Structure 1
């Protein structure tokens, strides 16, 4: 059977601040994130089956990513635990959608986090091949399964 990669694109708005960063990104600021999720799998060959010819229904992939990532992070402020502890009183005043992590919310770390989320919920018939997370139109972080075995 041939292995095929399928990719779906997503976008969401998210703000973050990088604790003690030595540039402007130490301030709360937002991005329009674009994310490409690529799966690897075999094409279903089952004549008469509604999913015949597919690796995974794009609608199913869309629902998984929207439920587990986009709806959670869209229009949220993401900060590290250290940042949150230092600015606890101010954060609750400016937004009720704050996500706090043990790590610095860089594109690189967010890409790894999103990969971990998706690996937990994908059907066993496919595997996560890669995630490309654009923070700007010209800058992105990329996660590949083969690099993380």
Structure 2
């Protein structure tokens, strides 16, 4: 088996409802997302993807559609909190608001990213690892092996 990784960068703001620190205020990050998939390289001379686990371009298309294009230059807000009102005000002023059904922390964003992309990969490829840098020196990690198989 071989693991390959593609890196993505996007700019997103968030607000953490009821947080007891600075992140209760709206602020943004330059997120850096590492997406690692696993599979066996194709061994078929007639296949244009011969020698590849999956085309990096295919990973790029999936992650851009599901995450980068959806979240870039938007504000993530917890739709289950009173921040819904803040989101409505921002939207009325032309801002891009993404309502999530979770507190938009790095940790919860990783769960959402995994759920959005793992079933869109080719059947011969599995999502193995995600790393999401919120800042240069702060990041979260998601490992397939750590997930509940139920």
Alignment TM class, shorter chain as reference = over 0.9
Q: Cα–Cα, structure 1 residues 88 and 63, in superposed 2: closer, same or farther, change >3 Å?
A: closer
Task: Structure 1: state its 5+ residue gaps.
Answer: none
Alpha-carbon deviation of 1:89? 4.5
- Please name the residue that 2:97 is paired with: 98
Displacement of 1:91 after TM fit? Answer: 2.4
RMSD of Structure 2 on Structure 1 (CA)? 1.3
2:58 matches 1:84: no
Structure 2 unmatched ranges of 5 or more: none
- Report the Cα offset of residue 102 of structure 1: 1.7
1:123 — aligned with what?
Answer: 122
Who is 1:60 aligned against? Answer: 58
Checking the alignment, whether the CA contact within 8 Å between 1:84 and 1:91 is kept in structure 2 is no
Paired with 1:83 and 1:126, the residues of 2 have a C-alpha distance of 40
Aligned length: 147
**Offset, 1:58:** 0.5
Q: 1:147 to 1:71 in 2, by over 3 A?
A: same
Q: Matched residues in 2 for 1:134 and 1:89: separation?
A: 28
CA distance in 2, matches of 1:50, 1:89: 48
SS of corresponding position for 2:130: strand
Distance 1:88 1:75 in 2: 14
Q: What per-residue deviation string (whole Å, max 9, x for no partner) do you get for residues 36-73 of structure 1?
A: 00001011000132111000000111111111110000
Q: What is the aligned partner in structure 1 of residue 9 from structure 2?
A: 11
Task: Return the TM-score normalized by structure 1.
Answer: 0.93
Aligned to 2:104, the other structure's residue is in SS state coil
Question: Partners of 1:36 and 1:62 in 2: how far apart?
Answer: 11
